[in-house]
Amino acid sequence: MEVFFNTGKGKSSRLIDAFRSNVDNRKKYQLSIFTCYLADDLAKVSNFIDEISSSIKLTDIQLYIDARECIRIGIEKLREFEESYADYNIGFEVTAIDTPNLFHSKAYALLSHDEQTGALAVGSANFSNAGLFAKRNSNYETLLLTNDVETVKEFLSLQDINEKNFKNLEKLEEYKRESYSFKYALLQQGKFVHKWSETFNQYFAIRYKLSEKGKSEIGNDILKNLGFTVDAETISRQFFDFSSIKKNDEVDEQQFNSLLRRGIETFLGHWLPLSLLQGLNDEVDAEHIFEILSNNVGQQLDGLKQHITEAFEKLKNEGFIAETDLNKDPILELENKLNNLKDDHVKLSRMWYKFYVFELPYDLSRKNDIETLYDDLIAKAQSKKRKYAAVHGVLEAKYTLRPIAVSEYCISHEQEDDTVDDENIEE
């Protein structure tokens, strides 16, 4: 029976509807979920459980998931999620499948307590955002369902998986050696920080492509007098002044540099423990940033419109602008740039704070990259003369084979880092 076939929308609801139609709703059930990947936002998992339990009596939920995905999501985060269901009289247990190769199954099963009724959906859809939950830009997936209870029981017997590969979250956290999984788990204890070079002035600069005549007359006084800068085949000018938007740039720079000092520099960027990044960028939200920026651009644009238009017409009349740009409306382009930032919170935040934070960019298949990065992180930590909490935490995690030791150490020694920073400022 088809649940959905090559479908990109409404997948989770269709799966729940199929379960409702194929089981006896008077009975109590255990729900078993088998997935390689999991939704980053566990609220979507909660919503799914709420929706299905509104009409099917769930007493237990078993989530079987690839061990590396547990590490990526965060073992402590999953443990807290498990415990949150105690108040709802639903047993929730995460079981990590720790095998050398990826646990790639995707299946959803219901089995009644008396084992007389059940349903099993098998297909391509992970219990993830793209696989099951996303309303936009979602994968096209297929799930097929059977209500043959013998098939359901045979599937749930898990007879082809060695028991030693089943680990609860506590067991998963116990590493016997500096394995690939351990290295991946340690790297997931932090994120990377980079400086962001593009400014609001650069973003709102007016740019035109040069015609052949313009390219041949790059040193023309008209271009200089109009204030345009020549860059190969284009010219640009920054008409706006955003120096009044943020008056605490120097303080921001000091705070950012202090943050970097607490981290560990790798070839990928400065790695900082998650505990040091909590609350970062919380001072001003994206909507408020946009409001400030929009008001500033609007005020300046009122006085610049004529100047920008006259410069454009002058360049056009002189034949300096390429044919592809002759029909441009520079004022409309500026307004469009502003509107684009309204929805692009990531870029807006990066230009405001002048840096950006990103997660480990390698997926589980990039073993060589992950091991190279891990080796670089450890080497830099061991060579640091002044050892902040992050360095001590990483080395503690390495020696004890406990990735969580990074955050434990950083949280317990945070004040020591603050004291060292104060000493550096006084010096």
Q: What is the CATH number of the domain that holds 77?
A: 3.30.870.10
- Can you tell me which residue has the tokens 């990044």? 277
Query: Is 381 part of any domain?
Result: no
> Which amino acid makes up residue 387?
K
Q: For 13-61, how does the pLDDT look when each residue is reduced to its tens digit (9 = 90+)?
A: 999 999 999 999 999 999 999 999 999 889 999 999 999 999 999 999 9
Query: Is 238 part of any domain?
Result: no
Q: Which residues of the chain have pLDDT under 50?
A: 283, 420, 422-427
Query: Is 360 part of any domain?
Result: no
pTM over 0.75: no
- Cβ atoms of 260 and 195 within 8 Å: the answer is no
For residue 303, the tally of other CB atoms under 10 A from its CB is 9
Coil/strand/helix, residue 249: helix
**CA nearest neighbour of 37 among 72, 76, 11:** 72
Q: Which domain holds residue 31?
A: 2-172
What is the reported pLDDT for 423? Answer: 45
What is the reported pLDDT for 417? Answer: 55
DSSP assigned state of 211: P
**CA nearest neighbour of 312 among 300, 299, 327, 334:** 327
334's tokens: 């500026």
Query: Is 58 part of any domain?
Result: yes
Query: Is 337 part of any domain?
Result: no
Spatial neighbors of 44 by CB under 8 A, at least 6 apart, are 129, 133
Query: Is 107 part of any domain?
Result: yes
What is the reported pLDDT for 248? Answer: 61
- Helices and strands of the chain, counted as H and E runs: 19, 15
Query: Is 302 part of any domain?
Result: no
What is the reported pLDDT for 81? Answer: 92
Query: Is 402 part of any domain?
Result: no
- Reported as half-sphere exposure (CB side, CA atoms, 13 A), residue 348 has a value of 20
- Count up the domains in the chain and report the number: 1
What is the reported pLDDT for 241? Answer: 92
What is the spatial distance between Cα 59 and Cα 252, in angstroms, rounded to a whole number?
Answer: 51
Q: What are the helix (H) ranges across 54-179?
A: 67-73, 75-84, 149-156, 169-172
